[in-house]
Amino acid sequence: MNNTFDSHPPLSRRLALSEVPPEGLDVDIRATPAECAALAQHNALPAVHSLQAELRARKRRGDGLEIEGELRASIRQTCVTTLEEFDSELIEPIQMRFAPPPDEAPRGRGRQEELTEISLDEDPPDPLIGGVVDLGAVVSEFFTLALDPYPRKPSANFVEPQPGDGAQAVSPFAALGRLKPRREA
């Protein structure tokens, strides 16, 4: 995933590959109130009440990293139908793979075997720059991608105006017609 944040993501938790033991590492991320406010501002939300991610980090083929888990958030959104704010819960699975970019990868036979195992059906791993992943930025991106771009309050119903309701329908071009000089025959 591309890092689309300015110089600092709203949530940051760096994890070095060297910190992950062979059996893997459980990582629990809980956003502070300031981080929740930054996430809300970054995503144009009235509020992020809470955000938590429970992740499992495992080494992948020696120099790579695999992250799996789930994020849960309690948020306040604005309904696109009524423009009223409402609270909702967000649950999103997280799964990502990281590998060093080709210029940082160790050379040799083992690396060549790894490259031939990549399937066309799966995304290539994201770059593992300097052996470090910012798990907070990963969680922030999954949070942003999981948001409904057109949130609706559960009880909100859009009622399409019916012809004949209220005023006479006016063509949007009626004003242009009044600007055109009339010719007299």
166 φψ region: left (φ > 0), alpha (ψ -120 to 50), beta (else): left
70: helix, coil or strand?
A: strand
Q: Average pLDDT by consecutive 10-residue portion of the chain (185 residues)?
A: 58 93 95 97 96 95 91 96 93 94 59 52 84 94 95 82 62 72 67
Q: How far apart are CA 59 and CA 57, in angstroms?
A: 7
What pLDDT was estimated at residue 107?
Answer: 52
pLDDT value at position 168? Answer: 58
pLDDT for residue 164: 61
CA distances from 12 to 111, 129, 133, 135, 161 (A): 30, 15, 10, 7, 47
Q: What is the pLDDT, as a whole number, of residue 109?
A: 45
Question: What's the confidence (pLDDT) of residue 135?
Answer: 96
pTM: 0.73
Please name every residue paired with 166 in a beta bridge, in sequence order, or none if there are none: none
Please name the helix (run of DSSP H) or strand (run of DSSP E) that holds residue 73, with its range, or none.
Answer: strand 64-78
pLDDT value at position 111? Answer: 47
